[in-house]
């Protein structure tokens, strides 16, 4: 496995872990998403990146494209909701409580992991398209 593949796997698992802690903070603070938001969160933010993992072994270009798309969608959903748009989970509105720091820290962490995943996904996609076999190019 190459370095980008290892980053890919590490970022997916780190993202999943931080999202699960963030979800726990959401529940503890009683900030519950509406049903359409819940569907997006489950499908795109939780399942999407994990679904890219088994694909990575057999089709790195598809896996990296999937990771890039779902992480970009997750960032486009989460960043405005947590930092820009007034709403129940906007950072400035969240009340002071023991879970507040966890909520804020994990929101920032998720955003950083999503941006890093987008970068790795793009880099891996570019590499896999240039070299579809996944093996180092042989000098001629």
Which helix (H) or strand (E) is 25 found in, with range?
helix 3-28
Residue closest to 11 by CA, chosen among 49, 46, 56: 49
Greatest pairwise CA separation for the chain in angstroms: 64
| pTM for the model | 0.87
Residue % of the chain over a pLDDT of 90:
68
pLDDT digits (tens, 9 = 90+) for 66-81: 999 999 999 999 999 8
pLDDT at 78: 93
């Amino acid at each position: 496995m190459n370095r980008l593949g290892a980053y890919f796997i590490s970022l997916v698992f780190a993202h999943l872990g931080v999202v699960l802690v963030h979800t726990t903070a959401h529940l503890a603070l009683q900030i519950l998403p509406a049903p359409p938001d819940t569907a997006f969160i489950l499908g795109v933010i939780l399942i999407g990146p994990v679904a890219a993992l088994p694909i990575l072994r057999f089709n790195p270009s598809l896996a990296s494209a999937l990771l890039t798309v779902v992480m970009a969608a997750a960032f486009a959903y989460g960043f405005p909701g947590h930092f820009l748009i007034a709403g129940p989970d906007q950072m400035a509105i969240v009340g002071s409580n023991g879970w507040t720091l966890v909520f804020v820290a994990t929101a920032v962490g998720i955003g950083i992991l999503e941006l890093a995943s987008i970068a790795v996904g793009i880099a891996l996609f570019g590499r896999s398209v240039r070299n579809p076999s996944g093996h180092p190019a042989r000098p001629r």
